[in-house]
Structure 1
Amino acid sequence: MTDSEQTNENECEKNSPGNVTQNPQNQPTHADGFTRIPPNESRRGKLQRIAQKEEEDLRKWKEENRPGPIHLPPEQLGGAVSLAEVRQRQQMEARQSKLKKKLMKEEMDRKKRQAEEEETEKMKAIQREKANKLKMRTKQEEEQRQERYQHDKQTKTEEFLQKFERSSSTVSMASSNTIPASSWGKCHEYRDSRKEEENAALLKMKEEQRRKTDILEEKQKQQEEDRKRRAEADHRRVNLAFLDRLEARSSGRMSEPMTQTPESSNVWLDDDDKPQDTALSTAPNPSQVHTDSAEEDVLVLCISVWFSVGSRCRCLQNRLAEALRWRRVLPPCLSCSMNQMNQQGDSDHKWNLMKLQNRFPYYDRDMLEDIVKECNGDYQQAYELLNV
């Protein structure tokens, strides 16, 4: 039997009518509106004994489980780092505290954005799944509806076909009879015939218009070809006249300076038209290194024409510049003049060449060097020649 059960039995015994009569001190008393209940001495004494016993058991347990003495080897505490190093470290940490806080804030913001993006992606996935489910459900409902109304559709189709067959049979029977057609039938036949005639006339007009369009396109194409042919012939005539004048001047038949004529002012040298003179050829044979005096005179004349006419004609300027660039060995007169120029002012020549390369980066260095040499190192003249 436990202590609580014994306590309850004792209380029952004490509260029994016999005990009430034997111990009147244990009865509650009433005075001045208050009720005084005296304590149960036996229960109180029992609780005190239990409390004392538990305290004694706790004291014994503490005595038994008391930790023993701690034996540690002696060691030096602190002093591994000097005071100056500690202060320097503290100053460095204080300077880096703002950066650390900023980095921590950026990391927190990044994690927050990442969490928001994940949440957004999750919501999008949920909505996408809902949309797919709705689409599938709509598709299933449509299929069910079609299956449900398929029977009615088939019935209506059969009724229509039967009705059409009956009407066609009646029409054939009526046509087989000798009774003349009614006015309604004649009207429909007339309308059908008129419609067929109009369609045939429309097709005929379309065919005629298409044929006229083809003829006009062919005529325009022929006119364009004639115009191109005339322009090419005109270009060739002007170029031949210009080359004839160059040959005449190189051979000494034209001692007077070249006059400005309408043909000389409008010089065309297209890429398709090859020059007739050997001095203006853009790709000479490398084996032809030694040229005669006539070719040297023509080359000198080309350079003079460059300065006079080439500044107004970009095509001629490019062709002459290319001819000079591909010509590896210059005439003796030009070679001597260039050697003298290089001996007198090599530094000025290089400086002018650098300035021209800076101003005209899209030109080749060899071409710019040839132009500077032909201009005798005059930067202004070379600049005006190139800046056309």
Structure 2
Amino acid sequence: MSGMGGWREGSRYRTATSFNTPSSSPGNPWHGNNEKEKSENTQKLTASEEKQGGQASVHQQQQKQYVGPYVLVTPNETRRIQLQQIAKKELDDLEQWKKEHRPGPITLVPQRLGGNESEAQVRQNQQMILMQSKYQKKHKREEYVKAKKAAEEAEILKKKAIQREKAERLEVKKRQEEMRRREMLLEDQKYQVVLGWCRSSGCPGTSWDPFCPLVKESLVSIQLVSAPMQVKVKMYSPLQCLKLHCKRSHAYKQALRDDENKRLEEMRQEQQRKAELLEFKQKQEEETRTRSLKNEQRRVNNAFLDRLQNKTQPNNMYYPGYTGLPQ
């Protein structure tokens, strides 16, 4: 270990001397001597490394320790020394590269800086900028107000578009409901006509003509079959026609009745709310009137007692509103 320490000190000393020596250049007289010294140092280093490698291997074999079922082995000192030498060599190469690529002095052409304008011209420009600043601020303010107004108008237009879409959807919904009601009304009218024709032709029974144009238009149900261009015609008897008509008519009347009941219920609830509000207002007015009447009676009584006390005790001080009795 002492040999290793001495070698390290020697390497540091050699590094310091190598840094302190002047850099190699073609015109340096010590360039050849430096090359010889470097070759000799390299040979010495390789010899010392081989010697230290052998010592390290022996030392590594001696440093094995047996602890229970485990074997503790010290790190490879030779590998560590090699890594240190490689790192040192790379650092030396880096320093050498920095010295070789050190930038040279900067040479600039003399130029005249500033002083292109006279003082009077500069002051005139400052005065002009100062005079224009007020108009520039005004212009910026107008631009800000214009941009703000445009943003507000865009927001308003957006809200209007949303409301327009809602109104259009509501209109479409109302139109669809109206069409549905008209279809139900037309269907009911058609079945009323068929029912009247059945009554006039002796229905219910089988003596009616199934090929009548009115019956054929109203009571024949055409259903498409899976095969194209083929239809299945289903004929209804007068009794089935009457039952179907009664069912459809009952459903339509029930829908109308439900709508009417719903409207009446809403009107009843609205009248009930109005009655409750009117009753609440009347109660408040009654309480206010009762309170004002009590206050007026109390004031009249206090005034009467004050006059009475003033008459019975003329020498005493008169305190208006004081009766001498607990309130």
TM-score, normalising length: structure 1: 0.25
TM-score, normalising length: structure 2: 0.29
